[in-house]
Amino acid sequence: MKSVTLTIDNRTVTAAPGTTILEAARQYGITIPTLCFQEKLESHGSCWMCIVELKGRNRFVPACSTSITGSMEIETDNAQLREMRRKTLERLLEQHSGDCEPPCRDACPAGCSVPAYLGAIGKGNDRKAVTIIHETIPLPATLGRICPAPCEDVCRRHGVDDAVSICALKRFAADRDHESPTPFVPAQEPASGTKVAIIGAGPAGLSAAYYLLRKGHGVTIFDSRERPGGMLYYGIPRFRLPAEDLDADIAPIMVMGGDFVPGTSFGTDITADDLRRKGFDAIFLAAGAWQASRLGIEGEDLPGVLTGIGFLRKIAENTTLNPGRRIVVIGGGNTAVDAARTARRLGAEQVTLLYRRTRDDMPANAQEILEAEAEGITLELMAAPARITEADGALHIRVRRMTAGEPDESGRRRPVPVEGADFTLTADTVITAIGQQVDPAIAQTCNLRMTDRGTIETDQSTCRTSAEGVFAGGDCVSGADIAVTAVAQGRRAALAIDRHLKGEPDIKRRRPFNSTYGPAGTAPKALAERAKPLQRAPMHELAGKERLTTFREVASGLTEEQARAEATRCLRCGCSTKNDCTLRSLASQHGIDSTACLNAGSDNAYIVRTEHVRYEREKCVDCGICIRTIEEAPDRQVDPSILIDNCPTGALS
């Protein structure tokens, strides 16, 4: 039989008569996207993802169901085809709904695989849980105590009862591991012979060190302080994060060969040129935000006016302080709340937290605010300091009462003074904690480009700076932020530095399409109905009087019984086939906005279960593959695994 000759993407190809355009293209390694196509099934071209253009005929046809003819000139990819495929995907996604990634993992800056480690804890396999956590978070006991848990804010159990105690379970697994005879230390690749200098032993620097050591590189961490941990050690009180738990998290870094050099300031004691002369092949800048923001008011330099970070650092260094009986703390973030709670433990009887916005606008962890109130700290909201004066052995803070004005660039309503509503507070000590910045000299030492915000300019995918071989992450890039964000940047930098040291090209991160049911509490009833109501496990805490006379840790963690039960509350709402989902892959390739299927079809969502298959209607896009597979099978008998494997959207599992 004579072959048919045609042109596909300017290539001359030949194929047997009756061959479809799709089959002919595949024979020559030419890729045409498909969704409803299956090789063993009769093609109908129903989804139109495989559409191609017949040049000279001004026709668009589905490649899977159109047979080739002689002298055909076919184009499989151009701007018009991409736009048509994009519209097809958007139409299909209008009826598709579901969580590709579980919302908890998507909300975690580090991308921690939450359902996986919760599942391990629920089955009693704590070592597996720790191993999973360490793939993205090398400081689990620490973050299990101090992270504000954005993962819990989006937990799907909000549509049933309360969020799973994700952070407490991370802490449980880490604490169990630290108490074991052989705490987890990851395997390392063979020594590479290269060395990396890390500036800063905070969460970003420690994270980068951890993952670089795993890759076999030599690591030296330089820090201006005497203890590793950065702000974790010097900025967070012991009643929230005991030093021994932070040290236990850092221990694997030292076991793997990480070298810590204390009391060394970058730019003063050592420079980038010094490090290069010492044979370091790359530098990672992870300096913390140690400079306190100024109030910009009269009297802030008076004796008795302290900065929040300076106050907390002195406590961490065991400096004896007596702040007095009356304390006013200015600010609404974690540093302000930590300073206020610390002052109470130092004997202050009256502690007032002054914040210029509403309680809902306070950036501090919501739980920490509740803890502060439980400890007798007064919140004076919608109030801002105007000036500080000294008289009769006390500090007098003139305070302006504020009201909510128009929204500012952050979206919050800008506080504006109320005329004639000023009042005065009297204090023995004033602690200011309205923000922190990174010393710009750090970047100037390497002659790096800076952003308008005063942070180091980097490529977000690779953490590369404007200087060759110099990378940066953490607060010096993001500004003062939560620890888990710094941990994520440290890991991202380590992976980029590893490629740099191996001479491999950079990999630009591209966020894949992520279908979602939407905000917490908006999933279809079918998802919530499979959840068994179970109260969130409470943690034991020190009683009020006991906690105010000691720096002992307030929360003691979950018991084993509580942890096992709490872990089973996870709904495992992410899609189990997300990494093999054709629909998700095509949507990612075509840059579809993840909101394209927000809540689509969820009003009609339901789950059908048979002995072998679960069918989730809201994920189905009616491609017809499962129906055709059954209809074309002998006696209509099909192995359920075939139906599941062939489903392009994860509707069958």
DSSP one-letter string for 20-49:
BHHHHHHHTT-----SS--TTS-----S-T
Question: What mean pLDDT do residues 439-449 have?
Answer: 85
Tell me, yes or no, whether 526 lies in a domain.
no
CATH of the domain at 11: 3.10.20.740
According to the model, what pLDDT value does residue 20 have? 92
One domain for residues 262 and 322? no
**Beta carbons of 355 and 380 less than 8 angstroms apart:** yes
Would you state the structure tokens that stand for residue 265, as one six-digit string?
């300031």
Confidence of residue 463 (pLDDT cuts 50, 70, 90): very high
| Other Cβ atoms closer than 10 A to 408 | 10
Q: In whole angstroms, what is the distance from residue 254 CA to residue 180 CA? A: 18
Q: Which residue has the higher pLDDT, 616 or 459?
A: 459
Label residues 236-265 b or e (16+ Cβ within 10 Å = b): bbbbbbbeebbbbbbebbbebebebeeebb
End-to-end Cα, the chain, rounded Å:
44
Q: Are residues 199 and 317 in the same domain?
A: no
Residue range of the domain that includes 336:
294-435
Burial of 73 (0-12, 13-18, 19+ CB in 10 A): middle
Q: What is the percent of the chain where pLDDT is above 90?
A: 68
For residue 209, give both structure tokens.
């060190």
Does 312 share its domain with 400?
A: yes
Residue 113 lies in a domain: no
Q: What is the pLDDT of residue 607?
A: 67
Residue 494 in domain: yes
Q: Is 448 exposed, middle or buried (0-12, 13-18, 19+ CB in 10 A)?
A: buried
* Calpha distance 151→115 (Å, rounded): 11
Q: How many domains does the chain have?
A: 3
Show which of 37, 54, 77 is a domain's final residue: 77
Task: Confirm if 283 and 199 have CB atoms less than 8 A apart.
Answer: yes
9 to 33, 70, 86, 144: CA distances (angstroms): 15, 15, 20, 55
Interhelix angle 126-134/114-122, nearest 10 degrees: 170
* Mean pLDDT confidence for 454-463: 92
For 166, the token pair is: 């994700």
Q: Which helix (H) or strand (E) holds 386?
A: strand 383-391
What does 217-255 look like in DSSP terms, one character per residue?
-EEEEE-SSSSTTTHHHHSS-TTTS-HHHHHHHHHHHHH
Residue type, 362: M
CA atoms of 492 and 211, how far apart (whole Å): 9
pLDDT averaged over the chain? 91
The CA-based angle 224-320-554, given to 5 degrees, is 85
Distance CA 456, CA 450 (A): 5
Predicted pLDDT of residue 597: 64
**The predicted structure's pLDDT at residue 568:** 94
At 498, the amino acid letter reads D
* Mean pLDDT, rounded, for 160-189: 96
Triad 129, 134, 135: Cα angle to 5°: 105
Same domain, 418 and 337: yes
Q: Which domain-ending residue is among 59, 77, 95? A: 77
Q: Is residue 631 part of a domain?
A: no
Q: What is the mean pLDDT of residues 193-206?
A: 97
Looking at residue 598, its pLDDT comes to 61
pLDDT in tens, 46-67: 788 999 999 887 789 999 989 9
Indicate which CATH number applies to the domain containing 338: 3.50.50.60
d(CA 441, CA 53): 58
Please give the pLDDT value at position 445. 83
How many Cα atoms are found within 13 Å in the side-chain-facing hemisphere of 550? 12
Same-domain check for residues 323 and 424: yes
Residues 419 and 342 occupy one common structural domain: yes
Indicate whether 262 belongs to any domain.
yes
What integer is the mean pLDDT of 191-215?
A: 98
- Predicted pLDDT of residue 577: 85
**Integer Cα distance of 449 and 428 in angstroms:** 43
DSSP assignment, residue 528? Answer: H
Report strand pairing: 413-417 vs 394-407.
antiparallel
Same domain for 431 and 446, yes or no, is: no
458 in the same domain as 418 = no
For residue range 535-556, what is the model confidence (pLDDT) as tens digits? 899 999 888 778 888 899 999 9
Coil/strand/helix, residue 51: strand
User: Which region among 385-394, 458-467, 603-612, 634-643 has the lowest average model confidence (pLDDT)?
Assistant: 603-612
CA gap 256, 503 in Å, rounded: 24
Same domain, 208 and 298: no
How far out from the chain centre does Cα 204 lie? 13
pTM above 0.95? no
Residues contacting residue 319 through CB under 8 Å, at least 6 positions apart: none
Which one, of 49, 1, 50, 59, lies nearest residue 24 by Cα?
50
Do 390 and 459 lie in one domain? The reply is: no
Q: Is 416 helix (H, G, I), strand (E, B) or coil?
A: strand
What proportions of the chain, in percent to the nearest 5, are helix, strand and coil?
Answer: 35, 20, 50
Residue 515: which pLDDT band, with cuts at 50, 70 and 90? confident
Q: Indicate the range of 89-98, 134-143, 426-435, 549-558 predicted with least confidence.
A: 89-98
Among 435, 459, 493, the domain-final residue is 435
Q: How confident is the model at residue 642 (pLDDT cuts 50, 70, 90)?
A: confident
215 and 315 within one domain:
no
pLDDT higher than 80, residue 411: no
- Dump pLDDT digits (tens) for 565-620: 999 999 888 888 888 899 999 999 998 887 666 655 555 566 676 778 888 888 88
pLDDT tens digits along 246-297:
999 999 999 999 999 999 999 899 999 999 999 999 999 999 999 999 999 9
User: Cα(66)–Cα(516) distance, rounded to whole angstroms?
Assistant: 35
Give which of 86, 61, 56, 68 is closest to 21, Cα–Cα: 68
Position 304 in a domain: yes
Domain assignment present for residue 517? The answer is: no
Q: Provide the pLDDT for residue 605.
A: 62
Out of 57-66, 526-535, 630-639, pick the least confident: 526-535
Q: What is the pLDDT of residues 306-357, one digit of tens each?
A: 999 999 999 999 888 899 999 999 999 999 999 999 999 999 999 999 999 9
256 and 316 share one domain: no
Q: Is 282 helix (H, G, I), strand (E, B) or coil?
A: strand
How far apart are the C-alpha atoms of 432 and 328, rounded to whole Å? 9
Task: Say if 10 falls within a structural domain.
Answer: yes
pLDDT reported for residue 599: 56
